[in-house]
Structure 1
């Protein structure tokens, strides 16, 4: 077995506290993760700008998001093998380079097609940053401190939703849309230099052969399936050839991959990890949670901009209490996860998110912003106890060699479930809005006063009321999914993780 990189870095995983060496590694990883996560939320705010700038529809402009997601999904399966083959440091620096190069190219896009293509290049780099960062940090800290390490890695997951809409709105208003991509250039150069200096040297021992057949099945399968799912909002129905054909082909390829992976000694995505009971229940919890939470995450920015007529910057500022709530609980949750296991923490987190989300099922066209911020803060408190503890539950019982494959698996699950959640909520909301005659014109009148003049008296007020009702009813779907998450979460570990020696032993695999 290789010596873990933490030994080379001078970190002692047997101590209970995070030391300077771990914090240095964590700082570099967080910098890279902040870039990739900020970029997702920054572009969400910019979609209306892309529509005007490139004279295109919302459905086509939204592919600047979808293209990035598809690239992420395609490249994540390769990360575990590539980390073993080339070493995590080299691969991390290569992923950063791809991400920064894609960012610069995006800023030079001349039409919507070129922007989507450059976002794919950006996604190839961005897709590897998170699983590689998790692997590097887990190795540096050792199993005993994974909870606290995951809490540190959770920082960009919080800063993204808070800072993304605010930063994106400000850059677009004050400068131009090009700067939401160009800002990655100086941050990326700093992150590259620090990764070179701080990360321990690679000592890869590539004993495994590359699963070429697995790659031909898994990556296109995942990309085609997500392409089909992501096309649902644009088509307005599941029963469309553009949705069904790619989704069905993708599903067939993924099923074929499952059969292949279970019969192969070193598959691209290690499905044998599901023998680990903790990881299995963590995956089930993550699937339901990501569908509900990431799907619902799209609703409020749209409600604030479309129904309430707020700017992108104001919408970003109003959503900030959620991140503030999570910032309070995340470090506490990380500490407790290392002491009592993730099970109880995650249950408390899901309960808090459920309570906060129920408030949004009562949304109206004039709901109090103070009450809304209070509900968001409660949801944030729950989020800090949920996202990273679920990741910890999956990874803390894996051996040193399994960590890269485990973090890759969890990131694939997270990305896929998030895409399904986004598509589900978009379809529910779109269909509910279609059923309301005045909702569409009333929403459009917020950005185009000329439309308001053409509507009969009282139509805007009625339309905004109908639109708010559509948003509140969509939140009911999110509440049901979040409550269902309690079922697999009940089976997550409720004891302190085993010592590093035990975690490295084959006995850690619970059959």
Structure 2
């Protein structure tokens, strides 16, 4: 029964929400393979192109805590309809951006609008699972969610590569079917979902008419996290130590985040209830999740650029190179849930990070001649570690809290995950571009000795990628160390 006492098909409702979530996840995962193409079409550098991912992740992170308020305040059916429309509008704006340097801002704005919708979709789906399924059924529902969300990194890059490769071979026949085409499939999926939602969706989450949004907290979180990330994204162009574009935004952002934290701990009804961190295992789980996300997202976004710019691969080939590893995330997500129930989070998290570290170490020593099959195997090992970590960590975070705090815990945990993704991408992109800028040869050499200039430019690129992958390795090592501090938890589902 829904909140009005009317019957409904919960599995049909769940599947419909999964489809919408898949469309949103594809918006997050498809762009990595397309970055080199976008750089050429819009005549932008790597740092500028990466803004499409960085600001997507930031907008997503800002909206996640807002979702806790929206879910409690508005009927589920109305909220989902508005969210799906917002996502479709953002995708359309991005897909139909003219290929001009001056129009790049329009492309990014479309990404931000879509991200705002995705930031609502993910927590909404998790909270819906908690409300419509019993404790015994949640593990299956969470596993299916992990399968769908985990499969998008597999489907997205490969699909993007195939589309871009086809556009390359048939440009005379498909003038518009280039990078824009990668957004058409999510658009079609969302249109179908929008048509079915009025008939299938129900109000399944109780609302609180008296709850109010703390506008000051929203402003503090938006400006705090926005300035913090802006400083990191500017490193690639201005370098570390630049006062106004790097140091000032980062420091100011941290100060505002501090004010935001203080406010959440002192007001009766916080915008983001940080009191959930009083639970030791929730805190450790959140930190390890942050490290896993930063280790995964940064390297995941840099590899397609490395494969295409250094190895000269097509977009399709780079997507296929990473396909096996991405598939393992989706396949292992339900299995990881079972392993969590059997072994507990501490042993599973330690094993996951050991695998992640083992798969990441070789990336720090990549060369221009590293065989593609070796990269595929290493990436697959990395993603097995990620798959063993992420879904069990998310489940463990909820198990560490009493039922009354699960909505706030979901918002906090998802916020941490998305911020980690955003910062991870910004850090590795800025580090890569900064190393390349520092080591690239003087442009005058290109006219004196073009071959030597090309060789030195390639060496500079490789140094940038190697340093970036080393940073990704450091995130994984920190995650392993933190995982050692898990305390023995109650039996899974004890506080459900």
Q: Normalised by the shorter chain, which TM-score bucket?
A: 0.7 to 0.9
Which residue of the partner structure matches residue 479 of structure 1?
473
Q: Verify the 8 A CA contact 2:130 2:138 in the aligned structure 1.
A: yes
What's the TM-score once normalised by structure 1's chain length?
0.85
- Matches of 1:187 and 1:261 in 2, distance apart? 38
Alignment match, 1:270: 273
Between 427-436 and 351-360, the greater mean CA deviation after superposition: 427-436
Partner residue of 2:264 out of 261, 266, 269: 261
- 1:194–1:382 Cα change, 3 Å: farther
Equivalent in 176, 179, 195 of residue 177 of structure 1: 179
Aligned-pair distance for 1:369?
A: 1.9
Q: Where do 1:301-312 residues align within 5 Å? A: 301-312=304-315
Partners of 1:124 and 1:201 in 2: CA distance:
21
Match of 1:101 among 89, 98, 116: 89
1:25, distance to aligned residue in structure 2 (A): 4.4
The 8 Å contact of residues 36 and 308 in structure 2, kept in 1 or not, is answered as no
Distance 1:216 1:317, change over 3 A: same
> Aligned-pair distance for 1:26?
4.0
* 1:77 and 1:412 in contact (8 A); partners too: yes
Q: Name whichever of 346-355 and 470-479 sits farther off.
A: 470-479
Cα deviation, 1:448-488, whole Å, max 9, x if unaligned, reads xxx7x974556645654553344234322222220111122
The equivalent of 1:313 in structure 2 is 316
Is the 1:30–1:155 Cα contact (8 Å) retained in structure 2? Answer: no
Greater mean deviation of Cα atoms: 154-163 or 405-414: 154-163
1:45 aligns with 2:33: yes
Cα separation, partners in 2 of 1:328 and 1:185, compared to 1, 3 Å: closer
1:143, 1:497 within 8 Å by CA — same for their partners in 2?
no
Deviations 1:59-113 (A, max 9, x none): 3333332332332233222110110011344323321110001111222323222
Deviation per CA, 1:353-411, whole angstroms, max 9, x where unpaired? 11111121221111122222222222222121111111111112434443222221112
1:54 aligns with 42
Please say if residues 356 and 386 of structure 2, whose CA atoms lie closer than 8 Å, have aligned partners that are also in contact: yes
Number of aligned residues: 481
Query: Gaps spanning 5+ residues in structure 2: where?
Result: 168-176
Residues 441, 9 of structure 1: alpha-carbon distance in 2 compared, 3 angstrom cutoff:
farther
Deviates further, 387-396 or 135-144: 135-144
Q: Structure 2: how far apart are the matches of 1:195 and 1:486? A: 42
Matches of 2:208 and 2:28, distance apart in 1: 34
Structure 1 residue 339: Cα displacement: 4.0
Alignment deviations for residues 28-86 of structure 1 (CA, whole Å, 9 cap, x no partner): 33322222221122223333333333344443333332332332233222110110011
Q: Secondary structure at the residue paired with 1:178?
A: helix
User: TM-score normalised to the size of structure 2?
Assistant: 0.87
- Output the CA distance in 2 between the equivalents of 1:429 and 1:98: 34
Q: Are 1:219 and 2:228 matched, yes or no? A: no
Query: Which one of 17, 20, 23 corresponds to residue 32 of structure 1?
Result: 20
Q: Is the 1:298–1:422 Cα contact (8 Å) retained in structure 2?
A: yes
Task: Quote the offset at 1:267 in angstroms.
Answer: 0.5
Q: How many Å apart are 1:433 and its aligned residue?
A: 2.4
Report the 3-state secondary structure (helix = DSSP H, G, I; strand = E; otherwise coil) of the residue aligned with 1:138. Answer: helix
CA gap 1:9/1:370 in 2 versus in 1, 3 angstroms: farther
8 Å CA contact retained: 1:146, 1:338: no
Structure 1: stretches of 5+ with no match in the other structure:
11-20, 443-450, 505-511
Provide the C-alpha distance between the structure 2 equivalents of 1:97 and 1:107, rounded to a whole number of angstroms. Answer: 15
Range with greater deviation from structure 2 (266-275 or 181-190): 181-190
1:114 alignment partner in structure 2: 106
**Alignment partner, residue 129 of structure 2:** 137
- Mapped partners of 2:140, 2:388: distance in 1: 12
1:72-87 superposed matches below 5 A: 72-87=60-75
Q: CA RMSD in A?
A: 3.0
5 Å-filtered alignment, 1:2-21, equals: none
- Residue 142 of structure 2 is aligned with which of 150, 158, 166? 150
